[in-house]
């Protein structure tokens, strides 16, 4: 046999019979035999709410087939439908400390590794606001070369390391191709109980292409989704030429005992390194405020989005280096905190600000931010390119920085007629929030930029550095 099919193990493909037992068996056999799996074009595979996961360790071609994933009353909402894993086992690896900026780690294994490190004795991302929490243990994820070089320098100092996960990076690429997947949406209570009946990728060196994900059956209530494609704790994943669907926004009571909108994602990246998403779009209107932004990420490193059309990109709990090229972003626009370099190039975005530095995590970006040949269509009355809010009274677990070097090289602002025509365009807003707070209480204020250089900005407004100039007295502002 050259490949395995679901029909070999009893799949009916009629859209009514539960085909999940056959799908699980087919992949189990394929994994043992080292053979790819191929779906039958024209088949409609029904996946019932029963608790079952197909473990995928070989390339799979779903082209021409449909999958109906029934999430109404599912038995295990956290159980993925397809779990992509490596046959390679984790290996022991000892690491005691890491220094900010470090780019080399002695690698006695002689092989390329994905490393995830933790310091359980220090919490970062101590969240403020409606979803306030106590943060999460300090962590970082990166590729460690056989020669000991890191994919990019360490962003935070680890005075101690309490856990290391070292996973060999597969040399052979695993490819997931094609298929139309329709989620029959859950009808659960609207609370933070994330559903993850999805394709979960925990293997490095994976390519995903040509997949379409649709959503049907959404009501006026429901639980949120973590992501139809979830890339977790791995490296070198390439997602391209796929079509996704945003989920409806539902409301619940947050940890501050106040109403809060729940975020649902169709792409979720967590502790992933070197991920590229290209030529992807969504079925729902990127300006429709009834739907949540499509993509969210946490603890990631070296992300690239190219030629994508999404309602939002969100680097939630920090990203270490990110690039957006030739993208279009909708009503929730670009949200980020993190470290390193952030490049936005040839991109069109809508939003109250072009870049929102998330206030619930201190509005911090420790590094450089470049905007090149971009178009901004502002929503509302504000005209600040960067929006931040940090009154300096909350400890987020780390020192907060505004981007230390900002370069704007080509920006076109297309007005909406809502803002005062006499108001300036500012690079930064007044991020200090409450002026009544005394200076001695603002011990966690973000460190202002070292330099801001702006050129080729197409606007009829005068251009100023900050809506509150006293916040940036020492920032070098160069305006061409």
The domain spans of the chain are: 4-70, 352-480
Considering the chain, what percentage of its residues have pLDDT values greater than 70?
Answer: 100
Where do we find the tokens 């079925």? 283
For the stretch 350-407, pLDDT in tens is 999 999 999 999 999 999 999 999 999 999 999 999 999 999 999 999 999 999 999 9
Report the pLDDT value the prediction gives residue 73, as an integer from 0 to 100.
94
Report the pLDDT value the prediction gives residue 192, as an integer from 0 to 100.
93
Evaluate whether 154 touches 101 at the Cβ level (below 8 Å). Answer: yes
Collapse the DSSP code of 359 into the 3-class scheme (helix H, G, I; strand E, B; otherwise coil) and give the result. helix
For the stretch 432-473, pLDDT in tens is 988 889 989 999 999 999 999 999 999 999 999 999 999 999
Distance CA 83, CA 87 (A): 12
Rg (CA), the chain: 23
Report the pLDDT value the prediction gives residue 58, as an integer from 0 to 100.
98
Q: How far is CA 204 from the centre of its chain?
A: 17
Ranges of H-type helices in 34-172: none
Average pLDDT, whole number, for the chain? 96
pLDDT at 36 over 90: yes
Report the pLDDT value the prediction gives residue 297, as an integer from 0 to 100.
96
pLDDT at 170 over 90: yes
Across 289-316, b (16+ Cβ under 10 Å) vs e yields: eebbbbbbbbbbbbbbbbbbbbbbbbbb
Nearest alpha-carbon partner for 84 in 272, 347, 283: 272
- Section 206-217 average pLDDT: 98
Q: How far is CA 429 from the centre of its chain?
A: 25
Nearest alpha-carbon partner for 336 in 371, 307, 309: 371
- Section 251-261 average pLDDT: 93
Q: Categorize the per-residue pLDDT at 106 as very low, low, confident or very high, splitting at 50, 70 and 90.
A: very high
Report the pLDDT value the prediction gives residue 443, as an integer from 0 to 100.
94
For the stretch 286-317, pLDDT in tens is 999 999 989 999 999 999 999 999 999 999 99
For the stretch 331-349, pLDDT in tens is 999 999 999 999 999 999 9
For the stretch 62-103, pLDDT in tens is 999 999 999 999 999 999 999 999 999 999 999 999 999 999
Q: Which residues contact 313 (CB under 8 A, 6 or more apart)?
A: 293, 295, 305, 324, 327, 329, 334, 335, 336
Q: Which residues contact 294 (CB under 8 A, 6 or more apart)?
A: 244, 246, 265, 266, 267, 282, 310, 311, 312
For the stretch 260-272, pLDDT in tens is 999 899 999 999 9
Longest Cα–Cα distance in the chain: 75
Report the pLDDT value the prediction gives residue 434, as an integer from 0 to 100.
86
pLDDT at 137 over 90: yes
- Section 199-221 average pLDDT: 97
Report the pLDDT value the prediction gives residue 435, as an integer from 0 to 100.
84
Distance CA 152, CA 220 (A): 44
Report the pLDDT value the prediction gives residue 65, as an integer from 0 to 100.
98
User: Phi and psi for 448 in degrees, rounded to 5?
Assistant: -70, 165
Using a CB cutoff of 8 Å and minimum separation of 24, what contacts does 27-32 make?
Answer: 27/54, 27/55, 27/56, 27/57, 27/58, 27/60, 27/82, 28/54, 28/55, 29/4, 30/3, 30/4, 30/57, 30/58, 31/55, 31/56, 31/57, 31/58, 31/87
Evaluate whether 180 touches 39 at the Cβ level (below 8 Å). Answer: no
């Amino acid at each position: 046999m050259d490949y395995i099919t679901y029909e070999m193990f009893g799949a009916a493909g009629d859209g009514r019979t539960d085909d999940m037992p056959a799908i699980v068996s087919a992949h189990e056999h394929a994994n043992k035999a080292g053979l790819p799996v191929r779906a039958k074009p024209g088949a409609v595979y029904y996946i019932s709410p029963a608790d079952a996961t197909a473990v995928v360790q070989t390339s799979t071609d779903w082209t021409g087939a449909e999958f109906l994933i029934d999430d109404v009353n599912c038995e295990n909402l956290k159980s993925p439908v397809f779990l992509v894993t490596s046959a390679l086992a984790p290996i022991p690896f000892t690491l005691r400390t890491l220094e900010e900026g470090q780019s080399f780690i002695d690698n006695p294994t002689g092989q390329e590794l994905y490393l995830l490190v933790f310091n359980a004795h220090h919490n970062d991302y101590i969240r403020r606001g409606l979803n306030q929490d106590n943060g999460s243990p300090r962590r970082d994820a990166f590729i460690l070369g056989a020669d000991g070089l890191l994919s990019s320098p360490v962003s935070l100092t680890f005075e101690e390391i309490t856990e290391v996960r070292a996973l060999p990076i597969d040399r052979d690429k695993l490819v997931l191709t094609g298929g139309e997947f329709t989620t029959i949406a859950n009808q659960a209570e609207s609370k933070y109980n994330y559903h993850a009946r999805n394709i979960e990728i925990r293997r490095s060196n994976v390519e995903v292409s040509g997949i379409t994900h649709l959503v049907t059956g959404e009501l006026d209530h429901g639980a949120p989704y973590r992501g139809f494609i979830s890339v977790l704790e791995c490296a070198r994943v390439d997602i391209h030429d796929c079509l996704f669907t945003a989920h409806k926004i539902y409301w619940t009571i947050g940890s501050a005992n106040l109403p809060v909108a729940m975020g649902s994602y169709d792409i979720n990246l967590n502790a992933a390194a070197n991920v590229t998403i290209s030529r992807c779009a969504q079925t729902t209107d990127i300006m429709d405020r009834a739907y949540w932004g499509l993509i969210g990420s946490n603890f990631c490193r070296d992300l690239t989005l190219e030629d994508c059309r999404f309602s939002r990109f969100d680097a939630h709990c920090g990203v270490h280096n990110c690039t957006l090229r030739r993208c279009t972003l909708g009503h929730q626009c670009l949200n980020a905190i993190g470290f390193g370099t952030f490049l936005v190039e040839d991109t069109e975005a809508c939003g109250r600000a072009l870049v929102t530095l998330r206030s619930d995590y201190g509005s911090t970006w420790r590094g450089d931010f470049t905007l090149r040949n971009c178009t901004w269509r502002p929503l509302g009355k504000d005209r600040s390119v960067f929006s931040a809010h940090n009154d300096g009274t909350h400890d987020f677990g780390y020192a907060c920085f505004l981007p230390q070097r900002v370069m704007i090289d080509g920006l076109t602002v297309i007005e909406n007629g809502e803002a005062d025509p006499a108001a300036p365009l500012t690079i930064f807003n007044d991020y200090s929030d409450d002026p009544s707070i005394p200076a001695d209480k603002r011990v966690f204020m973000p460190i202002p930029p070292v330099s801001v250089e702006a050129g080729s900005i197409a606007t009829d407004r005068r251009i100023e550095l900050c809506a509150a100039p006293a916040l940036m007295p020492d920032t070098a502002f160069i305006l061409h």
